Amino acid sequence: MHKFYNIQADKKLIVGVGSALVDILAYEDEDFLNKTGAAKGGMTYVKKEFIEQTLEISSKQPTTAPGGSACNTVVGVGKLGGSARFIGKCGNGKLGKFIENDLKRHNVEPVLFRSNSPTGRVLSIITPDAQRSMFTFLGASADMLPQDISEDCFEGAAIVHIEGYLLFNSDLILKVLKTAKTSGALISLDLPSYNVVKESRELLRHIVETFVDIFMANEDEARAYTGQADEARAVNALAEKVDIAVLKIGERGSLIAHNNEILPIRPQGSGQAIDTTGAGDLWAAGFLYGLVNGLPLEKCGALGSACGYEVCQVIGADISEAGWERIRKLL
């Protein structure tokens, strides 16, 4: 059994840092997606008006839920019974309060800075193949400033989990990384969508080499970062500068690289995916929860895989209570 021993035994808190957003989930066909000009499976930054105009021509009523990659992850940690905190920035209106109340409901401590800008939102267009293509209006989340981040944000943290989408603000992500590292926490980085990785590769390499302990990516993101299509080569390339690297390969499971070994993690469950929104985020929730609780890497991976599977059985990133009960049985 492989165990990761670099976490202080008296620390269990996982802190997520990222964009405080509201997810708008729309089921549409391929023709609708093509009309939007989306990069399928990718993420495009847009103005609020683009999302509003796209929703006007949508054929179905969308659903809404609090979202954002790191936010989804720490909510998952909270649902597992872990200690979790989320740091982000949102607006002063109803959507900002919606996010705050939802975090508290899921046992996550909210550290939400406020802005006069509207709360950010993501329109996720979900096609029949369960792929989601995202349009993101950052709104208030883009107003988070380096000076908002203090050592208090990371007090007591075992792991600080940072979503790669913070790369849109290099000064901010560097302040987060430096302050979190000073606190003694391990740094976990989950890569953003492949098109963002391509645009930010130079900054990413500096961040990974200097700060990151745990590095996560899916196949497209890993290929964009490493240039490797072969899975074993890709996960080894991800692991070159970090302690643990994870390659998430969807319905085929995942690969974890640590100490020059690759651990294959089998998928949990065999049902057809309904929606892949939050799959990687919830995988990270299970995996990081396992790490701070001293589970072997194989068990951490299995727990991550179970969370990733269950979230694909629902619309959005909110796993059903029956799904959480199945996940807890693994513990």
pLDDT (tens, 9 = 90+) of the chain, 331 residues, equals 455 556 766 789 999 999 999 989 888 988 888 888 877 888 888 999 999 999 998 888 888 888 899 999 999 999 999 999 999 999 999 999 999 999 999 999 999 999 999 999 999 898 888 888 889 999 999 999 999 999 999 999 999 999 999 998 999 999 999 999 999 999 999 998 888 899 999 999 999 999 999 999 999 999 999 999 999 999 999 999 999 999 999 888 999 999 999 999 998 877 788 877 788 999 999 999 999 999 999 999 999 999 999 998 887 788 888 999 999 888 7
Residue 130 resides in a domain: no
pLDDT at 1: 44
CA 148, 150, 154, 160 dihedral sign is: positive
pLDDT at 61: 85
Q: Say if residue 150 is exposed, middle or buried (CB neighbours under 10 Å; 0-12, 13-18, 19+).
A: exposed
pLDDT of residue 316: 73
The pLDDT score that the predictor gives to residue 4 is: 58
Residue at 203 is within a domain: yes
Q: Is residue 280 part of a domain?
A: yes
State how far the alpha carbon of 133 is from the alpha carbons of 246, 286, 319, in Å.
22, 24, 20
> Does a structural domain hold residue 140?
no
Other CB atoms within 10 A of residue 258 CB: 18
CATH of the domain at 309: 3.40.1190.20
Q: How many domains does the chain have?
A: 1
On whether residue 109 sits in a domain, the answer given is yes
Confirm whether 48 is domain-assigned.
no
What range does the domain containing 313 cover?
A: 13-19+70-117+146-329
Q: What is the pTM of this model?
A: 0.90
pLDDT value of position 35:
87
CA distance 218 to 305: 13
Nearest by Cα to 280 from 241, 320, 248: 248
Residue 1 in domain: no
Res 2: pLDDT: 53
Chain-centroid distance of CA 271 in Å reads 22
Residue 141 falls within a domain, yes or no? no
CA 183 to chain centre: 22
Between CA 264 and CA 270, with CA 268 as vertex, the angle to 5 degrees is 120
What is the reported pLDDT for 8?
A: 66
Residue 140, pLDDT score: 96
Residue 38's pLDDT is: 78
Cβ-count burial 70-101 (b if 16+ within 10 Å, e if not): bbbbbbbbbbbebbbbbbbbbbeeebbebbbe
